């Protein structure tokens, strides 16, 4: 690689206009066609930046000063925004965040999917885009002999102490602070990642906003938890909303939070929450959407796009704990859900029971294996809903969807790039993309969620 040929060199100071934002929220400027990624900048702004690193095709620079500001720039309300990395776009006002998310969908669909002339509606946002998260997971550590708990500094494993996160529901912050005090009171040793010693690794708190039920999960390195009974009693006293205290044991050298084993210390194994009229039981390790207000908006849109009259058989692929399946079951004749994690399927079955919905069946397995098998057994759904992880749908699944000729497909996506790729395949196979609705599930972050409706071409 000949660095000399690049239009900029490391340590150069450049003045540039920001043209675009990456899906990670960094501004993009071009110098003679060479892209520079510059965090904390906004399209339309003219800025001065210092070049930090140059690769063959693109480089990175650091913002020095904003010379011409755009009106969508605001002072990030969180004092630790730049250190933390949990949020990426607090420096954009909310309206601009919603536009950014819609534009991501529009651009990626066209660029990667060749899909144009399809309505992509304005992103559905929150009235109050703060204090929305129902789950907080906080690493514990030590500094100068003091117990601390907070977040990992951006791109590092250094824990920064924190007592307030403005995207968390307040109950979560209160609970984390209380547990920090209790753990310090009994001199519980935090986990030391390097030496693989100590007791308390993470505390995870989940809160059911509609039911007021609070779960505390203490993630420990081994089974032993000194002063266990005192800790339980003090948590109950400090947090009157707590209905579930569990211990999860993770003895592995890993940055995965949970281990395999979960012990009930007090109360129930589950907390409950409602999305619409459906009640969900959520256990310590279950996947459950983190923004309950917007989850309802998302699922209602999925239900609208499914356009059910009551006679339909519906498949819900990648169903998790059956959240969308149960929503659909209120309006369909029959729903079949499939999901790869066995515990999620047992939660899904439990959730069907507690809502007295008996027109749903759940299967454990890979969607790309189970759905072709259902097809071979004569299952012919009128509607198919997919909600895959970031990597999108498996090719084999898309093939089967095309063979099945369902009248409608509803695609819930957390990644516009794989959505675009998959829509292209479905379009080539006889489906038409009708409409796309981005929904803001994660205000202040760059995550882009959307629901798409496809129908069979006539």
Q: By C-beta, is 219 or 441 nearer to ligand SAH?
A: 441
Q: State the nearest-atom distance from the C-beta of 210 to ligand SAH, in Å.
A: 16
Does the annotation list 289 as a binding residue?
yes
User: What are the two backbone dihedrals, phi and then psi, of residue 293, each rounded to the nearest 5 degrees?
Assistant: -65, -50
Q: By C-beta, is 173 or 316 nearer to ligand SAH?
A: 316
Angle, vertex CA 181, rays to CA 180 and CA 185, nearest 5: 120
Q: Of 232, 241, 162, nearest to 208 (Cα)?
A: 241
Q: By C-beta, is 278 or 367 nearer to ligand SAH?
A: 367
Q: Does 387 bind ligand SAH (CB under 6 A)?
A: yes
Q: Does 289 bind ligand SAH (CB under 6 A)?
A: yes
Report the DSSP pairing between strands 449-456 and 431-439. antiparallel
Q: Which two tokens stand for residue 40?
A: 């904390």
Footprint on residues 404-423 left by ligand SAH (CB under 6 A) = none
Q: By C-beta, is 395 or 407 nearer to ligand SAH?
A: 395
Residue nearest to ligand SAH (CB): 320
Q: By C-beta, is 94 or 270 nearer to ligand SAH?
A: 270
Query: For residues 30 and 216, what is the distance between their CA atoms, to the nearest angstrom?
Result: 48
Query: For residues 31 and 444, what is the distance between their CA atoms, to the nearest angstrom?
Result: 29
Among 243, 313, 323, 413, binds ligand SAH (CB under 6 A): 323
Q: Does 318 bind ligand SAH (CB under 6 A)?
A: yes
Report the DSSP pairing between strands 383-386 and 360-364. unpaired
The per-residue b/e assignment along 31-66, b for 16 or more CB within 10 angstroms, e otherwise, is beebbbbbbbbbbebbbebebeebeeeebbbebeeb
Q: State the nearest-atom distance from the C-beta of 109 to ligand SAH, in Å.
A: 21
The residue from 78, 319, 393, 414 that is catalytic is 414
Angle, vertex CA 396, rays to CA 392 and CA 400, nearest 5: 105
Q: State the nearest-atom distance from the C-beta of 84 to ligand SAH, in Å.
A: 25
The per-residue b/e assignment along 14-27, b for 16 or more CB within 10 angstroms, e otherwise, is bebebeebebebbb
Among 142, 287, 432, 447, binds ligand SAH (CB under 6 A): 287
Q: Does 340 bind ligand SAH (CB under 6 A)?
A: yes
Query: For residues 326 and 346, what is the distance between their CA atoms, to the nearest angstrom?
Result: 14
Query: For residues 438 and 260, what is the distance between their CA atoms, to the nearest angstrom?
Result: 35
Q: By C-beta, is 10 or 350 nearer to ligand SAH?
A: 350
Angle, vertex CA 163, rays to CA 162 and CA 167, nearest 5: 90
Whether 78 sits among the annotated catalytic residues: the reply is no
Stretch of residues binding ligand SAH (CB under 6 A), selected from 80-88, 137-145, 361-369, 415-423: 361-369
User: What are the two backbone dihedrals, phi and then psi, of residue 137, each rounded to the nearest 5 degrees?
Assistant: -130, 115
Count residues near ligand SAH (CB under 6 A).
17
Q: Does 449 bind ligand SAH (CB under 6 A)?
A: no
Among 222, 226, 389, 430, binds ligand SAH (CB under 6 A): 389
Among 184, 341, 363, 425, binds ligand SAH (CB under 6 A): 341
Query: For residues 48 and 257, what is the distance between their CA atoms, to the nearest angstrom?
Result: 40
Among 300, 343, 366, 427, binds ligand SAH (CB under 6 A): 366
Among 87, 324, 383, 441, binds ligand SAH (CB under 6 A): 324
Q: By C-beta, is 46 or 340 nearer to ligand SAH?
A: 340
Q: State the nearest-atom distance from the C-beta of 420 to ligand SAH, in Å.
A: 18
Among 25, 198, 320, 443, binds ligand SAH (CB under 6 A): 320
Instruction: Specify whether the CB–CB gap between 314 and 336 falls below 8 A.
Output: yes
What is the full DSSP assignment across 114-151? ---SS-BPPPB--SS-SS-BSEEEEEEEEETTEEEEEE
Among 344, 410, 420, 426, binds ligand SAH (CB under 6 A): 344
Among 175, 275, 367, 417, binds ligand SAH (CB under 6 A): 367
Query: For residues 409 and 433, what is the distance between their CA atoms, to the nearest angstrom?
Result: 9
Q: Which CA distances in Å does 130 have to 196, 207, 210, 241, 271?
A: 36, 15, 17, 21, 23
Q: Does 339 bind ligand SAH (CB under 6 A)?
A: yes
Q: State the nearest-atom distance from the C-beta of 410 to ligand SAH, in Å.
A: 11
Does the annotation list 318 as a binding residue?
yes
Strands (E), 32-178: 34-38, 46-54, 58-68, 135-143, 146-152, 159-161
Binding site, by residue number, is 289, 318, 339, 387
Binding site for S-adenosyl-L-methionine, by residue number, is 289, 318, 339, 387
Active-site residue numbers? 414
Binding interface with ligand SAH (CB under 6 A): 287, 289, 318-320, 323-324, 338-341, 344, 366-368, 387, 389
């Amino acid at each position: 690689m000949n660095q000399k040929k690049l239009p900029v060199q490391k340590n150069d100071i450049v003045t540039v206009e920001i043209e675009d934002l990456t899906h990670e929220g960094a501004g993009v400027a071009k110098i003679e066609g060479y892209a520079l990624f510059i965090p904390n900048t906004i399209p339309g702004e003219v800025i001065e930046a210092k070049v930090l690193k140059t690769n063959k095709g693109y480089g990175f620079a650091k913002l020095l000063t904003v010379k011409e500001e755009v009106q969508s720039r605001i002072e990030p309300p969180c004092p630790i925004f730049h250190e933390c990395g949990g949020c990426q776009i607090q420096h954009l006002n909310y309206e601009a965040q919603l536009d950014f998310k819609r534009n991501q969908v529009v651009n990626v669909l066209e660029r990667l999917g060749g899909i144009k002339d399809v309505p992509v509606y304005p992103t559905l946002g929150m009235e109050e885009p703060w204090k929305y998260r129902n789950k907080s997971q906080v690493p514990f550590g030590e500094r100068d002999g003091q117990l601390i708990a907070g977040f990992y500094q951006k791109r590092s494993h250094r824990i920064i102490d924190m007592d307030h996160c403005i995207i968390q529901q307040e109950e979560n912050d209160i609970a984390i602070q209380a547990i920090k005090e209790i753990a310090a009171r009994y001199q519980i040793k935090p986990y030391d990642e390097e030496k693989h010693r100590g007791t308390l690794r993470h505390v995870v708190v989940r809160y059911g906003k509609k039911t007021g039920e609070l779960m505390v999960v203490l993630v420990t390195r081994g089974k032993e938890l000194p002063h266990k009974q005192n800790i339980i009693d003090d948590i109950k006293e400090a947090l009157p909303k707590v209905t579930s205290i569990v211990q999860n044991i993770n003895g592995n050298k890993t940055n995965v939070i949970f281990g395999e084993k979960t012990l009930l210390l007090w109360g129930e194994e589950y907390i409950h929450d409602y999305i619409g009229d459906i009640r969900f039981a959520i256990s310590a390790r279950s996947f459950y959407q983190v923004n309950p207000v917007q989850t309802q908006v998302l699922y209602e849109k999925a239900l609208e796009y499914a356009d059910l009259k009551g006679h339909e058989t519906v498949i819900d692929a990648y169903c998790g704990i059956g959240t969308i399946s149960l929503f659909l079951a209120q309006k369909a004749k029959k729903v079949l859900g499939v999901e790869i994690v066995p515990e999620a399927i047992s939660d899904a079955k439990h959730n069907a029971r507690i809502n007295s919905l008996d027109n749903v069946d759940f299967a454990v397995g890979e969607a790309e294996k189970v759905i072709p098998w259902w097809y071979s057994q004569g299952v012919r759904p009128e509607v198919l809903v997919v909600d895959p992880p970031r990597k999108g749908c498996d090719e084999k699944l898309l093939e089967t969807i095309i063979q099945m000729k369902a009248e409608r497909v509803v695609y819930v996506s957390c990644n516009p790039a794989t959505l675009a790729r998959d829509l292209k395949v479905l379009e080539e196979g006889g489906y038409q993309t009708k409409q796309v609705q981005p929904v803001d599930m994660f205000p202040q972050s760059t995550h882009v969620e959307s629901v798409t409706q496809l129908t069979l071409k006539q």
